[in-house]
Chain A
C-alpha cells in the first residue's frame, strides 16, 4: 500500500492491544518452539562437543581427536564404503523404478509401491534378526560386506525412491515429448532432460539415504562381518565397553559433523528446490 492511498475509514475504534491476543500467543509459542528445538537438539551436541575437548583434570585437550585419524579412520572409511555402495545400488534401482512407476501403467502398481516402502515401518532390530536368520540358516552365507550393504539397501530403498517418484510426478511429460519429437532417443531424453530436471529429488534421496546408512548401527550390529566395524558401531561398542570417555565423544562429534556437512552441502547446492524435487519452480 502506498502512502498516497486514502485509508479506509475504520468502522471500530482501535482497541488497546490485549495482553494475550491471538497474534501474541502465536509469536510466543513460536519462540517457545525454537527454544525447545535448541534445547533438545543443539544443547546436547554442544555438551558433547565440549566434553570431547576435555582433557584429564578439566583441561582443554584437542588430542582426544587423534583417534579420528588413527584407528577410527578405518571405521570411517568402512562406513563411507558401505554408504557409497548402498547409494549406488539404490540409485541404480530407484531411477528406472521411479520412472516406471510414474510413466507406465501396469497391474499391481500401487501394491508394489506400498511393498517397497514397507521396510520404513519395520524396526531395525527386527530387520537385523531376520536377516541373520536368512543369511546364516537359510542360505548358509558367510557374512561379508555385501550382506551389510544389501541389508542397508533394502532398508533405505524407500528413502531413495520416494523423492524421485515425487520429482517425476511433478515433471510435465511435454519435455520428454518435445525431446522425442526433436529426434532424441529414450536414453538421450532421460540423461539430458529428465535426470537433470529431477536432480533435486535425486539428491534429496541420496542425502536421506546417506545420513541413515552412515549413522545406522542396529542393523549393522546384527549383520556385520567380523572384519568390518563401521563408525557408529565402533562408537556404540566403545560406549558399551569403556563407558563415556572424551575420546569416544570425539568420535561421535566427528560423525555428527560429517552428517551436518552433508546437509549443508545439499542445501547450498539445491536450496529449497528439494521441497518440490525438481527445478521447475
Chain B
C-alpha cells in the first residue's frame, strides 16, 4: 500500500508525443481511473508506472521512493492485463504461486497463500485446473488472485474487462472494486468505457492526445466539464453553438445568457467567459424534459421543435427534436418513453439553467 506520484512524466516515440507532461497524485488506497479514447496515452502512462515502458522525462514516485528507473520486478506492483495472460502450461494454483515462488518463499507458505487467494476470488477447488479449462471471467479472476498473492503496493489494471461480454463485465467490475476495498490497495485503472470508470472510481482522469483534460470525481466530470472535450466525451451531449449575450443577474456567480438556436438561453455560471465570446453550450439529453402539460413555465428555458424520430432502446428512448434546423437529442425513460412512440409533430422542451454548461469554443478543436 502506498501513494503514487507522477511528476511531469512524458513519453515520446520518435517525434510523436504519446504522453505529455502528466501530473497526478494518487492517495493511499485510492481508486483512480484513466479514461480516454484509444491512442490517448492512458495505457502508455500505466505501463510507465509499471516499468514496462521507460518515460522520456519526469519522475515516478511510490511513497516518495523514486522508482522511475527500477525494473518492473523490483517495483512490487500487481499488473492485470487486457488478456488474463495466465501461463498456459501452469495450473491455476501454480499461476497464483508464481510471484511467491520466484521470490523463493517456502512451499507450504505458498500453498496456504494460494488457497487463501482462491477463496478470495471465489474459485476454491479450481487450483488443479489449467487456465484453458476456465471461462474468460474465471481466468481474469485468477489473474487478479495471481497479482494479489504477492501483496503488491499498487494495483494496475489495463482494460481488464474489455475482452469479456457485457454481463460479465458488469459483475466483474464490482468484484474488482470489492477486492480493492477489502485489501485497501492503491489502484490505477485504465479504460475507455465511461460506465466502467463511473462505477468503480474514486476519481477519474480524463485524457486526450497524451494530456490530462480533467481530474475529478464522477459528478465533477459529468456536471462541471472543464473543457469542451470532456463535455463531449462524457455521455452524449448536445453542443449548441452561440455567443455570450450577457449575464443573468448580478455578481460573479450569476449565470450567462447565451444566444443560440435563435433563442436566448439561460445557462450556468462559469468563470473565464466574457460578453460577445463564441461559446458552445452543452445540455445533456437526460437533462432535457418534454413538456406535456401546461406551457412549461416551471422551466427557465423553453424551446419548441418538431420530432424527427424516436429511437426505442429498451430502458430508455432517444427523441431527436429539430429546433431551427439543429437536431437536439432528448433521452426519456419511464412510461413517457412508451407514449412517445406514438407521437410526432411539435413538442416543447424545457431545461434548467444549471444544466447548460457554456464552454469557450476552441478554434482548433477536433
- Residue positions of A touching B, CB distance < 8 A: 172, 174-175, 177-185, 188, 192-193, 196-197, 279-280
Contact = CB atoms under 8 A, between A and B. Distances in A.
B4 to A, nearest CB: 15
Given A178-B79, A181-B73, 11 more contacts: A175-B87, A177-B52, A177-B85, A178-B87, A179-B98, A181-B147, A182-B73, A182-B98, A183-B74, A193-B87, A279-B89
Contacts of B75: 181
A174 B81 contact: yes
Contacts of A179: 87, 98, 102
Given A182-B146, A192-B102, A197 B89 contact: yes
Nearest to A181: B79
A177 B83 CA distance: 12
A37 B85 CA distance: 43
Secondary structure dominating the interface of A: helix
21 contacts: A172-B83, A174-B81, A175-B85, A177-B52, A177-B81, A178-B87, A179-B87, A179-B102, A180-B71, A181-B50, A181-B72, A181-B77, A182-B73, A182-B98, A182-B99, A182-B102, A183-B99, A183-B103, A184-B99, A197-B89, A279-B88
Contacts of B76: 183
B102 A188 contact: yes
A52 to B, nearest CB: 43
Nearest to A179: B98
Interface in B61-75: 71-75
A151 B130 CA distance: 43
Given A182-B147, A183-B103, A188-B102, A177 B89 contact: no
Given A172-B85, A197-B88, A279-B89, A177 B79 contact: yes
B151 to A, nearest CB: 11
A185 B79 CA distance: 16
A278 to B, nearest CB: 9
Contacts of A197: 87-89
Interchain residue pairs A-B with the least CB separation, the first 7: A182-B99, A181-B79, A174-B85, A184-B102, A180-B72, A178-B85, A183-B73
Contacts of A185: 73, 102
A180 B74 CA distance: 9
B150 interface: yes
Nearest to B101: A192
B150 A182 contact: yes
B41 interface: no
A214 B71 CA distance: 45
A276 B76 CA distance: 34
Contact of A178 (B51, B81, B89, B103): B81
B267 interface: no
B228 interface: no
A196 B103 CA distance: 20
Nearest to B103: A183
